[in-house]
Each structure stands twice: as structure tokens, then as C-alpha cells.
Amino acid sequence: MTQSGELDLEVKGGGTSKKTLIILISTIVMLVVAIAVGVVLFLTGALTPKAATGEAAANPKAPQHPAIYHSLDPAFVVNFYRQSQQQVRFLQVKMEAMARDSEIIEAIKTHTPAIRNNLLLLLSHQDYETIHTVEGKGQLREAARDEINQVLEDQAGIKGVEAVYFTSFIMQ
């Protein structure tokens, strides 16, 4: 120790080799820590590129292109029977279809009459008690998407509508 209370690491007669040894050990320790961190990141998947692991291929819902929306205008207006009160009810729905390929949107435009026909039939066969709930509306959205995809597959040999969204939903 020096007089000021600091530790003197230099040993007389071989100070340079001790400093070199300390630097070498420190370097080895840092290298081992860096390798350990790299191994942990690799094993947890944080360091693995998505293309190399096939994550993009394994997740088909990963967006490849931006969403394209097409409004199915005019609004659908149907009447249906409310069985619990034995009365006729009315439903007005505005919908938009979403796809990621402009070819799908063009096919929707081309086959709008068949799509509207199937959607009108679907909407008119709904039960008030079912579509009054959030879950019922979600099921109806999925059924509408399936109807559109079925028409596109039958008429154009393609399907690719990912979702149908209600932009207005009025029941009376």
C-alpha cells in the first residue's frame, strides 16, 4: 500500500507480467460472459433470424402486404323474425371486406351481385337473440367472410378475404 491508502498492484521485479496477467484474465472473463449471453439469446430465440427459423413460413397470418379494404355498398337491409316475441325485426348492416391482394378486391367487385345475394340470405336467417350479443356479431362476421370466400372460390377459383368488418350495425 502507498501512504495515501491506495493498493499498489505493482510487484517489484515482475510488475509488467502481473499487469499482463490481470489484463489477460479480465479479457478471458469478459469473453466467457459474452459467449454465455450469446448462447442464452440463441437458445431463447432472441438472436435467431426469423427467416432462418422458418417463423415467417410457420405463421401464415403474418402480414405480407398492406391491408386493402373494400366497402360492400349500399348497406344491407333485411327483415327477420324474432321468435321470442313473434314479431318481424329489421337489420341494417354496412360491411367492408379486407384482403391483402388487389386481385381479391377486383374479384369482389366483379362478383358483387353473387356476394350480395349470399350475404342477404345469411343476414335474413339470423336469430335476434344471437346477433344481439358481441359473440353473435363475431360469429356473423366470420360467416360473412366465409360466404364471400365461397363465392370467390366458386366463381373465380380464388379466396383471400381475411376479414369482414361491420361499419354500421342497426337492429330494430
Q: What is the pLDDT averaged over residues 52-64?
A: 52
Q: State whether 52 and 74 are in the same domain.
A: no
pLDDT in tens, 112-156: 999 999 999 999 988 888 898 999 999 999 999 999 999 999 999
User: Cell 372460390 belongs to which residue?
Assistant: 153
Work out the number of other CB atoms within 10 angstroms of the CB of residue 115.
25
Q: What is the count of structural domains for the chain? A: 2
Q: What is the pTM of this model?
A: 0.61
Whole-number Å distance between alpha carbons of 81 and 88: 4
Q: Is the pLDDT of residue 39 over 70?
A: yes
Q: Find out whether 99 and 68 touch, Cβ atoms under 8 Å.
A: yes
Q: Where are the alpha helices (DSSP H) in the chain?
A: 15-44, 50-53, 55-58, 102-110, 112-124, 128-131, 134-156
User: Which residue segment(s) compose the domain that 8 sits in?
Assistant: 1-62
Residue in 142, 121, 139, 120 with CA at minimum distance from that of residue 131: 139
Q: What CATH number is associated with residue 130?
A: 3.30.479.30
Q: 96 and 140 in one domain? A: yes
Mean pLDDT of the chain: 83
